[in-house]
Structure 1
Amino acid sequence: MASIYKRGKTWTANVFVLMDGERRRKTKSGFRTKSEAQGWANEVEVAKQKHAITFNTKTPFPVYFDNWFEIYKKPFITYSTIKWYELTSKHLHRAFENVTIENMTRARFQKFLNDMGKKYAIETTKKIKMHVHQMVTSAISEDVIVKDFTQGTNTTGLAGKDRNLKFLEADTMKLLVGNLVSRPVEERPVTDMMILMGLHTGCRYSNCSARMDGY
């Protein structure tokens, strides 16, 4: 049930909501007329019936992503995949350090994807969008936010390199090395050791192969 009252020269509306066994209040003030306040209260009442009410959270968007990742993703994925999520987290912290998850909008996220597309390959921006979309789906199911701000956004990015000029970008190379060294030395196949040697020394495949003979 809503309560409408006048405070000074403007009107205020309160709507009480039962959430997790607690009676909480959704409030908005500054309405010029009583009918405007009543209209807002009616919208909140409709949202309440649809279980679409959310309350303000001060959690920064990147921090929420990190918490979600630690609980719902990290325990169930491989080391190399973990590194991709951590890379996504790094970019989110750079772009949205002071933005709470409830203040994220589709326009904000699209601008972020556009900026990423100017510096990184399109596969990277697609992967970041996928990670964030997974988190958003979880946040909606937990009533933290109502709308999916990744929906309808588009990814762009740099074109792939010519096959004769292909090489690993720094971030990708670090992910590869991290994945290779995560396995104990005595369990690593010869191919892994050859890749590590090539990355650290610049040796050609034939030289790495010769040095690994008998490994």
Structure 2
Amino acid sequence: MKGSIKKRGTKWSYIVDVGFDENGKRKQKTKSGFRTKAEAQAACNELINQINKGQYVEEKRMTLEEYLLLWLKDYAKPNMRQTSYDLREVLITKRIIPALGKYEIQKITPHQISKFYVELNEKGLSQEYNTVFIHFYALLLKER
């Protein structure tokens, strides 16, 4: 996957194909306002990297549940050992989705996530679950 960099007036912009909609129509992400070509290229590369890793979230009102189920299917399943995948699947489907799944990703606050983490720790999570949860937390903050 690659993006295009263009100069528009005094600013630089990029455009990247981000997939297809339900009708098979190509979807693109455009962002402008970069002072230099290098800044636009770096931002473009970051977006492409997120897409390739299955971490890109469209700016639609996607819930955490929708995002995590897509992440499990498109990124975790093909890229993780089965035991690692199973651990994440259990944490996501049994703990995270019931507690936070209904919220839109962009509206989840760090306070909500921290509060949820404290509640899980009070229930006595294993060290493995703590590690996975910290990974989830970092991933979610990056998506916001």
TM-score, normalised with respect to structure 1: 0.37
- Selected match of 2:115 from 95, 111, 115: 111
Change in 2 beyond 3 A, CA 1:55/1:67: closer
For residues 1-215 of structure 1, the aligned pairs below 5 Å read: 20=15, 48-49=33-34, 56-90=59-93, 91-121=95-125, 123=127, 124-134=129-139, 136-137=141-142, 139=143, 145=144
- Change in Cα spacing, 1:81 to 1:20, as seen in structure 2 (3 Å) is same
- Larger strand proportion, structure 1 or 2? 2
Give TM-score, length-normalised by structure 2. 0.53
Q: How many residues align?
A: 96
The one of the two structures with greater contact order (alpha-carbon pairs below 8 A, sep at least 6) is 2
Measure the CA separation in 2 of the matches of 1:81 and 1:55.
26
CA contact (8 A) 2:113 2:137 kept: no
Percent identity over the alignment is: 14
Instruction: Give per-residue Cα distances to partners, 1:121-149, cap 9 Å, x unaligned.
Output: 35123322213424554x3xxxxx3xxxx
Counterpart AA for 1:119 = K
Equivalent residue number for residue 159 of structure 1: none
Pick closer, same or farther for the CA change 1:77–1:103 going to 2, 3 Å: same
Divergent runs of 4+, >6 A? none
CA distance in 2, matches of 1:113, 1:122: 12
Letter in 2 for 1:69: L
Higher CA-based Rg: 1
Structure 2: 5+ residue stretches without partners: 1-12, 17-31, 44-56
- Deviations 1:12-55, CA, capped at 9 Å, x for gaps: xxxxxx7747xxxxxxxxxxxxxxxxxxxxxxxxx954779x98
Cα RMSD over matched residues?
3.0
